[in-house]
Amino acid sequence: MKEFIRIASGQGFWGDLPNAPVNQAKKGPIDYLVMDYLAEVTMSIMQKQRMRNPDWGYARDFVNVVEQVLPEIKNDGIKVISNAGGVNPNACKDEILKVAKKKGYTGLKVAVVDGDDILEQIDELIADGHELKNMDDGRPISTIKDQLLSANVYFGCQPIVEALAKGADVIITGRVTDTGLTLAPMIHEFGWESDDFDKIAIGTIAGHILECGAQSSGGNFTDWEKVEDFTDIGFPIVQAYPNGEFFVTKHEGTGGLVSAMTVKEQLLYEIGDPAEYITPDVIADFTSIKVEETGKNKVKVTGIKGHPDTPTYKVSASYNDGYKLAATLVYCWPDALKKAVKGAEILEKRAEALGLEFNEFNKEYIGYNGNSEKPITEEALNTEFDEIQMRVSVSGERKNDLNRFGMEIAPLILTGPSGVTGFAGGRPKASDVVAYWPALLDKGAVTPRVTVFEID
């Protein structure tokens, strides 16, 4: 057993800094490089991509990352774990094997974790009595079944642990929990039992700290002025020990900041009930955590408690929920707000005269109430602003109505109040509204698959 392992975060979301994971592998010693690419909406985007091209549906820039760190994988034994596989992890695997083979790397083992995509099984699951009720309003998924774009189970860390036990160098998953990417190496290296819930909670919280990339090492930090160097921001690294002790740090010589406060802010990010952070592996208790700075850019996290996991997986589904369209125009002084309000009023009345049907017609006036619901008062109308951006947005079920409304924006320039600018990019077009559907599914209803591929 190793004295400790270093797990480095290389990506907090799909579109994060392209050079961050490469820097993590090359600027200092690490054992594992973990990269989180998936958000709820990302799965629906990837599903649409795969519908257009069956070879897509994954984070294609991940292949380039692996290509750049192949020397470290081969020579230093770094293992790469990522959910970049999205809705098509096998296609991602094929590209990585192709690149590695072309560069002459043999013996490389690439594992695929899938089975999380249940979109094609929805009818069967419903027939077996799994209603997949919306966790917010209780509706069964059958009510929007025909509009579904994606449906994925959040697996925990266990299939990744299995892949590591099979000697995988690169592990590509579909939808697994963000925290599971970090927890799995700890279980694999230290032999933690799945029912040692305090230890499993420790690995889960370490994963939570790493999952958003540089957000725990100075990025998006409230006290941002304390961060001396954002240009070369260092991504966080967890240094973990078999007894459950771990530290958060980063490579020496990199920018950013790891402090008690940067770690605490990340700990509070997207957790819901802090006493019950529910994952497929454990329920972690954040209320017992202690955070202590033990050196420059080094923070110790202790006091973590865990409770038994639940009998269900969370399902993240997305579906088409109509269409939306938004447009803006800018009105200048004098009477900027008064002119912007009149412009929106004209658009609304013209839409009514055309018989266009919307679910919502929203009006905002950036520079006055764009960040609030402040009402338009007589006093405000008589206040002089340098400029006001009028923003109108509509939503509805009839795409043609929204597109027809989009044809009304540019004409307002010459048929409405004066002093208007800011129109560019052509007529706005209606776009799909992708809605989120959270649900629960009995763990026995679905099984993760682990397959290992090797270059001879």
What number is the average pLDDT over the span 69-87?
97
pLDDT tens-digit profile of 187-219? 999 999 999 999 999 999 999 999 999 999 999
Q: What is the pTM of this model?
A: 0.91
- 372 has a pLDDT exceeding 90: no
Percent of the chain at pLDDT exceeding 70: 100
Query: Quick one: tokens of 95?
Result: 């590209």
At residue 411, the pLDDT reads: 96
pLDDT band for 13, please (50, 70, 90 cuts). Answer: very high
pLDDT band for 170, please (50, 70, 90 cuts). Answer: very high
The beta-carbon contacts of 398-404 under 8 Å, at least 24 apart in sequence, are 398/323, 398/356, 398/357, 399/323, 399/430, 401/356, 401/357, 401/358, 402/323, 402/324, 402/325, 402/356, 402/358, 402/430, 403/325, 403/427, 403/429, 403/430, 404/354, 404/356
pLDDT tens-digit profile of 292-329? 999 999 999 999 999 999 999 999 999 999 999 999 99
